[in-house]
């Protein structure tokens, strides 16, 4: 039986090697499959993948309204203190005091793009944007305020 | 039609007519040496570029594409960079051996060039033990590699060199046995005889399955002998930081790099000569018209085409298969390749005695 297994081994080995060579041979003969992005040249037409995580953004609609309630779930979820939310109290039209964000501080230089804040957000107010050209000359520029000036929470988001 | 044979004959006659015979011979030596060195330099440039392009296409990349059209001048730029770099010798190294090693490796690959038939009657030295010479001299390069590893005074280098020694010594056996199958079928060690015996068909077609098996064993064994992936344990970038040439820089590193590619070329040239008929054109039985068309392609082109096909095959291996472990490497040789090649040798011998080949 040893000799049968031995010969079987050889054929199995050769077959698996040939399967591997078939795949690389296919790629070699089909240059259309090449996925290289010639980055600085195709900067205008570059489309990043859907799953790419470049930085955290707070989504604003055309009325300059966002969905952040200031619950600071993202701040708690962040493993390295990238997000800091400073809250304020607003008085709404019914005359009640209501919590709202004053500034949504985001330290890009600390962020590892782990996506935990986006998962933690109960109102889907924040999202990962596919931008990646983050280099600046001054480190202070990496500390960003994500809510636009004058923005306020969308009506109906609790 | 102008062929390489005519050119060499013209030069030979002209030199003998103008100079005394000894001086003519001396100047022929110089010309041959110059041709060999320039062939090496161009081969190094072309093969490195080819390797990078093949690797890129197999990995769905583009490869070098900035220097010159399609990155054609990339290797020229790399060579210029390497020439400008400092050739550093580490403090604890054995200086003499350290500086000698790259030249030993290079000379070993240069010697191998002598008996190879590049075209019809275009051969530096047609000795009657050509195949033996090739397999004997090709194992000298392991001395250079061991020397480099030892003289570097670095444990990674020494480990790489020892691995390389174990590998080359063991794979030489099956490479040698698969070469012997062709020697048995031809009945001669002379490379020009081997090529001439394939006039009516290359051995890979004439010899049926046994020669095909010995070709497969040959190509595996020479891949291992030239220290290429999947058998690149001697270099093993990821575990040994380039193994025996860790400490080398500048042109001395370039010599190692160049000799790797020259060895590939020579191994593939031997494979092309033994199994694919060297410079013999492709002929099919009695198709006179087809055979005549094939004869119009120059013999040097046939040789280069076959050699580059085999080189491509080795690059294909390199960029497809993962690296073997040391024990797997020796298992493959001693438990699989050697028994199979010995059995195959017996089969070929029976075939040659009974005259079962075409």
How many Å lie between the alpha carbon of A32 and the closest alpha carbon of chain B?
9
Contact B115, B126 (CB under 8 A): yes
Q: Is pLDDT above 70 for A140?
A: yes
Measured between CB atoms, does A50 come within 8 Å of chain B? Answer: no
Measured between CB atoms, does A20 come within 8 Å of chain B? Answer: yes
- Nearest CB neighbour to A24, from listed B61, B320, B340: B320
How many Å lie between the alpha carbon of A126 and the closest alpha carbon of chain B?
35
* B contact test, residue of A9, A28, A36 with most B CBs within 10 A: A28
Gap between the Cα atoms of B192 and B115, Å rounded: 9
Q: Nearest residue on chain A to B60, judged by CA atoms?
A: A34
Gap between the Cα atoms of B269 and B149, Å rounded: 28
pLDDT one-digit tens code per residue, B8-26: 788 888 888 888 888 888 8
Residue B354 — very low, low, confident or very high, per pLDDT cuts 50/70/90? Answer: confident
Gap between the Cα atoms of B87 and B157, Å rounded: 17
How many Å lie between the alpha carbon of A47 and the closest alpha carbon of chain B?
18
Q: Tokens 């990043």 sit at which residue?
A: A48
Q: Is pLDDT above 60 for B221?
A: yes
A-B C-beta contacts closer than 8 Å: 35
- Contact check, Cβ <8 Å, B320/A23: yes
pLDDT one-digit tens code per residue, B79-120: 888 888 887 788 877 888 888 888 888 888 888 888 888 877
pLDDT of A40 reads 84
Whole-prediction pTM value? 0.81
CB B255: neighbour CB atoms within 10 A?
22
Q: Which residues face A88 on adjacent strands?
A: A100
- In chain B, what residues touch A27 (CB-CB under 8 Å)? 57-60
The three-state (H, E, C) secondary structure of chain B, written as one string: CCCHHHHHHHHHHHHHHHCCHHHHHHHHHHHHHHHHHHHHHHHHHHHHHHHHHHHHHHCCCCCCCCCCHHHCCHHHHHHHHHHHCCCCCCCCCCHHHHHHHHHHHHHHHHHCCCCCEEECCEECCCCCCHHHHHHHHCCCHHHHHHHHHHHCCCHHHHHHHHHHHHHHHHHHHHHHHHHHHHHHHHCCCCHHHHHHCCCCCCHHHHCHHHHHHHHHHHHHHHHHHCCCCCCHHHCCHHHHCCHHHCCCCHHHHHHHHHHHHHHHHHHHHHHHHHHCCCCCCCCCCCCHHHHHHHHHCCHHHHHHHHHHHHHHHHHHHHCCCCCCCHHHHHHHHHHHHHHHHHHHHHHHHHHHHHCCCC
Mean pLDDT, range B37-55, rounded to an integer: 88
pLDDT one-digit tens code per residue, B154-186: 888 888 888 888 888 888 888 888 888 888 888
Measured between CB atoms, does A26 come within 8 Å of chain B? Answer: no
- Contact check, Cβ <8 Å, B59/A38: no
Considering chain A, what is the average pLDDT of its residues? 86
Q: Nearest residue on chain A to B57, judged by CA atoms?
A: A28
Gap between the Cα atoms of B238 and B217, Å rounded: 27
Lowest mean pLDDT among A101-110, B98-107, B193-202, B345-354: B193-202
- Of B325, B137, B316, B308, nearest to B225 by C-alpha is B137
How many Å lie between the alpha carbon of A59 and the closest alpha carbon of chain B?
36
Contact B299, B195 (CB under 8 A): no
- Contact check, Cβ <8 Å, A21/B57: no
End-to-end CA distance of chain A: 73
Residue B227 — very low, low, confident or very high, per pLDDT cuts 50/70/90? Answer: confident
Q: What is the ipTM of this complex?
A: 0.75
Q: Tokens 């090529």 sit at which residue?
A: B195
Gap between the Cα atoms of B313 and A74, Å rounded: 54
- Contact check, Cβ <8 Å, A10/B340: yes
How many Å lie between the alpha carbon of A34 and the closest alpha carbon of chain B?
4
- In chain B, what residues touch A31 (CB-CB under 8 Å)? 57
* A contact test, residue of B53, B60, B321 with most A CBs within 10 A: B60
């Amino acid at each position: 039986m040893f000799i049968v297994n031995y010969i079987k081994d050889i054929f199995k080995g050769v077959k698996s090697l040939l399967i591997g060579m078939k795949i690389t041979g296919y790629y070699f003969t089909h240059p259309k499959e090449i996925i290289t992005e010639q980055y600085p040249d195709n900067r205008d037409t570059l489309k990043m993948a859907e799953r790419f995580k470049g930085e955290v953004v707070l989504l604003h609609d055309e009325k300059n309204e966002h969905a952040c309630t200031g619950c600071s779930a993202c701040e708690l979820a962040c493993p390295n203190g990238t997000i800091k939310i400073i809250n304020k109290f607003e008085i709404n039209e019914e005359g009640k005091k209501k919590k709202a964000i004053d500034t949504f501080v985001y330290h890009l230089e600390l962020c590892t793009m782990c996506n935990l804040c986006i998962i933690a957000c109960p109102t889907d107010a924040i999202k990962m944007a596919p931008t990646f050209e983050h280099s600046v000359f001054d480190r202070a520029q990496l500390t960003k305020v994500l809510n636009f000036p004058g923005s306020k929470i969308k009506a109906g988001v609790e | 039609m102008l062929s390489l044979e005519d050119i060499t004959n013209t030069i030979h006659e002209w030199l003998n007519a103008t100079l005394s015979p000894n001086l003519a011979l001396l100047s022929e030596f110089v010309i041959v040496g110059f041709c060999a060195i320039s062939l090496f330099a161009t081969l190094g440039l072309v093969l490195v570029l080819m390797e990078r392009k093949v690797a890129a296409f197999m990995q769905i990349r583009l490869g070098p594409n900035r220097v010159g059209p399609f990155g054609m001048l990339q290797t020229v730029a790399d060579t210029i960079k390497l020439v400008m770099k400092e050739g550093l010798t580490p403090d604890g190294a054995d200086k003499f051996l350290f500086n000698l090693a790259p030249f030993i490796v290079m000379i070993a690959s240069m010697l191998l060039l002598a008996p190879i038939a590049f075209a019809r009657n275009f051969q530096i030295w047609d000795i009657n033990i050509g195949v033996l010479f090739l397999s004997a001299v090709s194992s000298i390069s392991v001395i250079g590699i061991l020397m480099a590893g030892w003289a570097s005074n670095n444990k990674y280098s020494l480990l790489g060199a020892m691995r390389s020694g174990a590998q080359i010594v063991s794979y030489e056996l099956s490479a040698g046995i698969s070469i012997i199958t062709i020697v048995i079928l031809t009945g001669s060690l002379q490379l020009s005889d081997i090529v001439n015996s394939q006039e009516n068909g290359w051995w890979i077609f004439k010899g049926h399955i046994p020669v095909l098996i010995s070709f497969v064993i040959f190509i595996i064994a020479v891949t291992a002998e030239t220290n290429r992936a999947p058998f690149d344990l001697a270099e093993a970038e990821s575990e040994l930081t380039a193994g025996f040439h860790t400490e080398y820089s500048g042109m001395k590193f370039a010599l190692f790099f160049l000799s790797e590619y020259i060895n590939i070329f020579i191994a593939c040239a031997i494979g092309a000569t033994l199994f694919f008929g060297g410079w013999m054109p492709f002929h099919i039985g009695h198709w006179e018209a087809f055979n005549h068309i094939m004869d119009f392609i120059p013999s040097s082109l046939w040789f280069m085409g076959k050699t580059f096909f085999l080189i491509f095959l080795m690059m294909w291996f390199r960029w497809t298969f993962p690296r073997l472990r040391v024990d797997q490497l020796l298992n493959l040789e001693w438990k699989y390749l050697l028994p199979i090649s010995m059995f195959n040798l017996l089969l070929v011998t029976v075939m040659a005695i009974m005259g079962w080949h075409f």
